[in-house]
Structure 1
Amino acid sequence: MIATGSLIAAALISGFVVYCLLCSREIALFALLNLFRHKRRSFSTLMAIVIGGVAIFSWGGFIHHAFWILKEQTVRMNVGHIQLYNPLWFQTSNKNLSLINDYQTLKAEIESHPDLAAYIATLSGQLEFTGIISHYENETSSYFSGVGIEPVPALKLGAFEKMLSGSDLSRVRKEEMTLGSGLATTLNAHYADWLDLMVVNSRGGQGAISLKLRGIFSSGIKDYDDVAIKVPLVTAQRMMDTRGVSKVLILLKDDADLPLFRAKLQQFINEKNLPLTIRSWKEISLFYQQVESLLSGIYLFIQVMVAVIVIFMISNAMAMNIVERTREITTLRAIGLKPTHIIRLFLLEGIVIGVLGGAGSLLAGFALAGIVNLQGIAMPPSPGQTHGYTAFIKTDSVELWAVTFLLPVLTSALAAILPSLRASRLNIADAFKFS
């Protein structure tokens, strides 16, 4: 609603300016020249607008980059852009009763479907399971949360994970696995150690297996690394006594295709009458939603503060203009200028300084972003994470450009309304007595 209202206001202002240029060229030229009559005041007002605009541009670029990093991290931490589930997955606590059973057939049908395959970068099934892991030689045990993965697709789906020692599962035998760094520390486990896993399988019985530790990884999320293990999907299925998977992950070639692909995938599911439900990465990422809400709220607060400052600065400058230009205004009225012409004059002055401020904000914002992006900003780890990152100011957002430019223009036009009305209502006889 706010964006729509801003666009409507911008369209009205543009129409007003075009009308003035076509029908009142003298007034438009007079408004432009008036800005240079009081250079110091115009410059100070313009600088206030530019500083506020640069703050909006810089913070907006910063949070756009933060959102992008967090999105990529979420998508490529074994989440993907799209996930398919058995609908019962969200209705029962016993996940073993809500598996996707005929996974291989489903995978073949999706990958061979021309309307779907063109969008897919990789598709992979995963089987989640939990249990107890033990290191017999060190006499240590711990609870774990495991996932069976297809090793080759996992290279893309787990691209943000960092191997601390050993290697991933892309070239392993079935009897090998990788551990999260926190869990490896708890077990005092190292590369090539043999570890014992015990689970409750899909039929309610016990499943146990001994696996060799192939590598230790870090996702940067401490709570996850403290319990995480990965094994090949076929090993997990054998241990859990099932041929099904918990979910199917789909990574797209271009995340901009997500809405279109989701619609096509839903149509495919409906045509095949498959017992599946779709979830996007954002729907299942509560942490991302919370961070997005927080940063967006701060950004909105900054925009409001800048708008208020601009309104007060321009209103004050134009109010002083009215006092100083009382004789000028009344002289114009006396020679035949109508009150509506006076209103146009002051509105155009406010709009022109807003346009100059918006353009200056963009230029200064791009310059500042270029300087900052040479080195980036070293950021500490986010809450719950162990890895910091280098932040940049992302400047490729058309929405950010529009906000940086339009906000000064809209607030300047708004700030000019009351002073222009006041100027148009000056009494000619009384105003000539002003000294």
Structure 2
Amino acid sequence: MTFWRFVPLAFRNIRRNRVRSSITLAAIAVGATALLLAGGFFQDTFLRMREGIIHSHLGHVQIFKKGYSQYGAAHPFDYLIQNPAALVSRIENLPNVELVTQRILFSALLSTGENTVAVTAQAIQPGREAQLTVIRNLRHADTGLAILHGENLSEESSFEILLGQGLARSIDAKVGDELVILTNTIGGSLNAFDVTVKGIFASPSKEFDDHGIRIPLETASKLLRTDAVQSLVVLLTETDLTETVRASIEQLASSENWEVEVLAWPELADFYNRVVALYQRQFAVLALIIALIVVLSIFNTMNMAISERTREIGTIMAIGYRRRDVLSIFLLEGLFLGLLGGLLGLVFGQGLGFVLSVSGIPMPPPPGGSVEWKAGIEITRQLLLQAFGMCVLASTLSSIYPAWRASRLVIADALRHT
């Protein structure tokens, strides 16, 4: 007989003790469900963090003058992109590019008259930034930049700024307050403007909320006395196309002899990368624990089955079944328990994940964040395959030793077993 000819017999053996088989299947299904829910929670967290970082601050791709990533922190004004409009028009014509916006990041002093604090000023194009912060997936719309009080900057904004909520709290500033912003121009002289607080924002980055302001690029150009910009931020139609579009931009830059460097968002999101690495290790440990539970459950079931069916094993071996046939029967039983339990776990896990995603799981601000959010369960195809594969592999492996022990029984001793 071949291995697969014992399939009907293995199924019958599983149905013989329905209570024990049901308990074993339940343990496997619960393990698969737990793996799906935990993995889905981590995936949802990654997706929300990713989209929040992209749409509130980084964009999908950023373009700098060559050398900025290495030396720009010490000498930011030495690495400005001249005539940025020419680059923007060419890049926006590339496939899958939705928009390109210009930015300058600089340090300044912000004064209320009584308090003066150092701030990080982000000069933006308000109209284009408004499009950048739109997250089309409504399930993740709470992860971008949010205006808590007042209004966002608009194309008509002039000498108006936005304050991060932590910064506004520290200097006791409110919407409508008049402030003074002071900084060095690119030539090294001092320049100052009176500005009005138009709104107070919250972003996924608490550090930026505590020290950051947003100011219209037109106003910043007058303040810094330059028409150049520091970076071009590119928004794409899909995040998964980041590397493809990045390669297209690099090819265009090479053909046009632009002295620029092109960085994708993963290279700029250090905190995100560290959080993902941490969560992935935690998930690996959790998957190992669940696999051990499944292994012990199947191992216990098989050992009890062998103990109860010792005389039966001796009988079938006496009538001509070989040791490898007995081994095949018990391995198939473990395999089918894993298959059935895994399928049940996938069904229950997806159903429970859908319910939790619809209702939402209230969560506090993440480390380094400032905005509360509602988590969901993001179950991917890869996660489904991992959970199902873990159940099948663990149940099959845990059947090997009991099956081998059953196949090594001595016929005479097995027949005398009571």
- Do these two structures clear the TM 0.5 threshold for a shared fold by scoring above it? yes
Alignment of 1:183-222 (within 5 A): 183-219=167-203, 221-222=205-206
Amino acid at match of 1:156: Q
Are the counterparts in 2 of residues 100 and 245 from structure 1 also a CA contact under 8 Å? yes
Aligned to 2:140: none
Instruction: Supply the distance in 2 between the matched residues of 1:387 and 1:25 (Cα, whole angstroms).
Output: 56
Match of 1:349 in 2: 333
Give secondary structure in 2 for the equivalent of 1:351.
helix
Match of 1:125 in 2: 102
1:415 CA displacement = 0.8
| TM-aligned CA deviation for residue 212 of structure 1 | 2.5
**Which residue of 2 is the match for residue 150 of structure 1?**
125
- Structure 2 residue 342 is the aligned partner of structure 1 residue 358: yes
In the TM superposition, residue 183 of structure 1 has moved relative to its aligned partner by: 2.3
The aligned residue for residue 15 of structure 1 is none
One-letter code aligned to 2:381: V
Aligned match of 2:138: none
Residue matched to 1:306: 290
Query: Which residue matches 1:17?
Result: none
Map of 1:236-247 to 2, 5 A cutoff? 236-247=220-231
**Which amino acid letter does the alignment assign opposite residue 55 of structure 1?**
A
- Counterpart residue type for residue 202 of structure 1: I
CA contact (8 A) 1:53 1:358 kept: yes
**How many positions carry a matched residue from both structures?**
407
Contact 1:78 1:154 in 2 (8 A): no
Match of 2:41 among 50, 62, 65: 62
2:112 is matched with: 135
Structure 2 match to 1:45: 24
Which residue of the partner structure matches residue 75 of structure 2?
94
DSSP-derived class of the 1:416 partner? helix
- For 2:57 and 2:370, locate their aligned partners in 1 and report how far apart those are by CA, in whole Å: 18
Measure, in 1, the Cα distance between the counterparts of 2:4 and 2:120: 73
Match of 2:156 in 1: 172
Of 369-378 and 282-291, more deviation after overlay is shown by 369-378
Alpha-carbon distance, 1:377 to partner: 1.2
1:333 to 317, 320, 329: 317
The percent of aligned pairs where both chains have the same amino acid is 32
Distance 1:218 1:408 in 2: 43
8 Å contact kept, 2:125–2:155? no
Deviations 1:45-68 (A, max 9, x none): 111111111110111111111111
Q: 2:88 aligns with which of 102, 107, 110?
A: 107
| C-alpha contact (below 8 Å) 1:120/1:253 kept by paired residues | yes
- Output the amino acid matched with 2:398: A
1:384 counterpart = 2:372: no
Scaled by the length of structure 2, the TM-score of the pair is 0.92
Cα distance in structure 1, aligned partners of 2:61 and 2:40: 27
Question: Quick one: structure 1 residues 282 and 184, their matched pair in 2 at CA, closer, same or farther if it must change by over 3 Å?
Answer: same
User: Normalized against structure 1, the TM-score is what?
Assistant: 0.89
The one-letter code of the counterpart of 1:279 is: L
2:281 is the alignment partner of 1:297: yes
Query: What code does the residue aligned with 2:105 have?
Result: E
Structure 1 residues 374 and 191: CA distance shift in structure 2, 3 A: closer
> Is this contact kept in 2: 1:79–1:157, CA < 8 A?
no
Corresponding letter in the other structure for 2:98: A
Q: Give distance in 1, aligned partners of 2:149 and 2:211.
A: 17
Q: Which amino acid aligns with 1:119?
A: N
Indicate the residue corresponding to 2:52 in structure 1. Answer: 73
2:183 match: secondary structure: strand
Deviates more, 1:410-419 or 1:24-33: 24-33
Opposite residue 76 of structure 1, the aligned amino acid is: H
Q: Which moved more, 1:363-372 or 1:281-290?
A: 363-372
Residues 323-375 of structure 1 show CA distances to partners (whole Å, capped at 9, x for unaligned) of: 22222222222222222211211111000000010011011112222332342
Shifted more, 84-93 versus 399-408: the winner is 84-93
Select between 411-420 and 349-358 the one with higher mean Cα deviation: 411-420
Q: What is the CA-CA distance between 1:24 and the residue it aligns to?
A: 5.0
Q: Equivalents in 2 of 1:108, 1:371: separation in Å?
A: 45
Q: Which runs of 5+ in 2 are unaligned?
A: 135-143
Question: Structure 1: how far apart are the matches of 2:3 and 2:399?
Answer: 18
Of 219, 223, 226, 2:207 maps to 223
**Is the Cα contact below 8 Å between 2:56 and 2:204 reproduced in 1?**
no
Structure 1 residues 227-261: Cα deviation after superposition (integer angstroms, max 9, x where no partner):
21111112212221222211111111111212221
Secondary structure in structure 2 of the residue aligned to 1:401: helix
Contact 1:180 1:225 in 2 (8 A): yes
CA RMSD of superposed structures (Å)? 1.8
| Alignment partners' CA distance in 2, 1:275 and 1:282 | 22
Which SS does the other structure have where 2:371 is aligned?
A: coil
